[in-house]
Homo-oligomer: A and B are copies of this chain.
Amino acid sequence: MVGGLVGTSLFLLAASYRTELAERRKLKALFARYVSPEILDEILRRRDVINISGERRFVAVLFADVRGFTRYTEEHEPEQVLSQINQVLGEMTAIILRHGGLVNKFLGDGLMAVFGIPVWKEEIWTEVFAACQAIVTNKNQPTGDALAVGIGLSWGTVLAGSVGNQQRMEYTFFGTPVNLAARLEKMAGPGEILFPFEANRTYPLPTESYTCEEVYIKGLSEPLLVGRIKEWG
């Protein structure tokens, strides 16, 4: 009698435990989807610590944004606009993840992606430019060329860490490469990729078809040499 009760308890408890394990796994997968698996690892590694000083990391930062979306927004119903945004962001996200990058945040009809987390490797250069090419040449969108994407790219050492307070945090990247990529993206026309041009670079550019120009950037004392890729010849 007592043995039977204990057996039943054991059985029920085991079932609850299994359910609980499965629930936690699901919750973790959902969490990863909302912050990126790589960033979730960083968060869990440091748990409750707000990383006030941040960690220095070498990364490549990519800002991509749909050109001409303001007009599209005016001419269509909000639900249509959102479905279109979802299509574009979904495609871009898939491309970035396929090339080993992470999507740090969505910004309206655009996004900010980071390559090199947890660790930068020289092979990543190729992946970054391949992702850019795939994004701007992607025809797998219902509106085709009408909603072309412009990209700003930059790289260097950034500070990575959680900002906010104990109630609300976000894992973010700070530093000149982030600001610069954001500014270059604003200057990129439809289908264009802008990036800081380095004459002594150790990485290969993905195409010979690029132009160079000197650009004055707010916050930088010297003009910056910027490379612009318009075509994939």
Give 30 A-B contacts (CB < 8 Å), ordered by A residue.
A6-B6, A6-B10, A9-B10, A13-B13, A17-B20, A20-B21, A24-B27, A30-B31, A31-B34, A33-B166, A33-B168, A34-B35, A34-B43, A34-B169, A35-B35, A52-B82, A52-B86, A54-B79, A54-B82, A73-B219, A78-B159, A78-B174, A85-B163, A89-B164, A89-B165, A93-B164, A97-B167, A97-B168, A102-B168, A106-B172
Tell whether A201 is near chain B: CB-to-CB under 8 Å.
no
Inter-chain contacts of A170 with B (CB < 8 A): 34, 105-106
- Copies of this chain held together in the complex: 2
* Interface SS of A by simple majority: helix
The complex places the Cα of A20 from the Cα of B18 at a distance, in Å, of 10
Tell me the bound Cα distance from A34 to B48 in angstroms: 11
Which residues of chain A (76-110) have a CB below 8 Å from chain B? 78-79, 81-83, 85-86, 89-90, 93-94, 97, 102-103, 105-108
Interface size on A, residues (CB 8 A): 69
Interface check A226, CB cutoff 8 A: no
A107 to B106 Cα, complex, angstroms: 11
Contact of B20 with A24 in the complex, beta carbons under 8 Å: yes
- Measured in the bound complex, the distance between the Cα atoms of B23 and A217 in whole Å is 48
